[in-house]
Amino acid sequence: MESTATIKTRTTKAGRRSALLGAMFLMATSAIGPGFITQTAAFTVQLGAAFAFAILVSILVDIAVQTNVWRVIGVSGMRAQELGNKVLPGIGWFLAGLVFLGGLVFNIGNIAGTGLGTNAMMGLDPKLGGAISAVIAILIFLSKRAGVALDKIVVILGAVMILMTLYVAIVSAPPLGEALKNTVMPEKVDFLVITTLIGGTIGGYITYAGAHRLLDSGATGVEHVKEITQSSIVGILVTCVMRVLLFLAIFGVVAGGVALANNNLAASAFEAAAGQVGLRMFGVILWAASVTSVIGAAYTSVSFITNSSTKERTRNLITVGFIAFCAVAYLLIGQAPQQLLIFAGAFNGLILPVGFALLLWVAWRRRDLMQGYVYPKWLLIIGVLAWLLTLFLGWNSLAGLARLWA
């Protein structure tokens, strides 16, 4: 018979693998929200095959940012705001405030997305669908094994989204040769589209969703560098697979000459590709993308106003309150007000360069916070180049914020 110690060790390893998988999918599904689906549909219609190049560039930047974020947080074993306060007291709480406020407003939009998803899926009233979805998310955090439940739900729903989108991508029969050619030799390059994609995939709370969940897995410290790096890349690739499949599904319809309904491009494309079945599938995909984003935004936002000493039960109850507040706000106003979304978007544009700069500084100058780890110069250089691009995104966000308050 196995000893108690052996069973405990095996259980711990299994739990760590589950949490790592959950961290990968939490990052991916947080990025794949209702805005992600809307953006991909709109840009596919706008650019056609040339959108493939924008996807490639955004993928490369995502990898550069997330591999650095995961490695610094994973090796140090501290949350982003904790590292920030170690570097410059107070800056961590400033970052936490930006993430929390941005996550709060955008979560109203995520709940609105669940309502639209249930409407397309089952014909439910969007507000009823949004309320039911919020309750489902709340029940996950009220369960006795909330961490395990969170990991399983994001993995299952992530897989469902990918498989259903794959089916529609096959049915729509996109011209793959044209898409492949434009991936490296684009007929048109739109830098605004590229920066929007990057901001939507790794902006705001999304940057830290997977990395903060990684800390709960226990796979931290110098000895877990390989696991940390592999997990970050796989998480990004899951996002990329979904974006590519969604692009191909819609591109196949657009290339076939079908005129899509302007009020809901993605739903119209799925219906054109696979009829009523396609429309119902779109509802499932939109609901899954939205409810996992509700979970990801809530979990990550709360992780910024708590610390490693906060009891898990306390953190879960705060998360429940966060989701409940967003749900009530959605039911009262129907959707996130446009000005608030613009304001939160501007905050997200600021979060990326501020937070990423702090992490790169820790990697470069604060080996004491990295447990003596010698950070690879090539990874640091790649990170700095990506950071320069985030400055451009941040500048655009400030300009948008100035226009909002003008």
Q: What Å distances lie between residue 200 and 5, 187, 362, CA to CA?
A: 45, 23, 25
Q: pLDDT band at 296, cuts 50/70/90?
A: very high
CB 213 within 8 A of CB 22: yes
The topology (CATH level 3) of 17-405 is: Amino acid/polyamine transporter I (1.20.1740)
CA distances from residue 400 to 26, 200, 283, 370 in whole angstroms, order as listed? 29, 15, 32, 36
What mean pLDDT is predicted for residues 49-66?
89
Domain ranges of the chain: 17-405
Q: What is the pTM of this model?
A: 0.88
Confidence of residue 283 (pLDDT cuts 50, 70, 90): very high
Per-residue model confidence (pLDDT) at position 335: 64
Helix 51-76 with 191-202: angle, nearest 10 deg:
30
Percent of the chain past pLDDT 90, that is, above it, reads 46
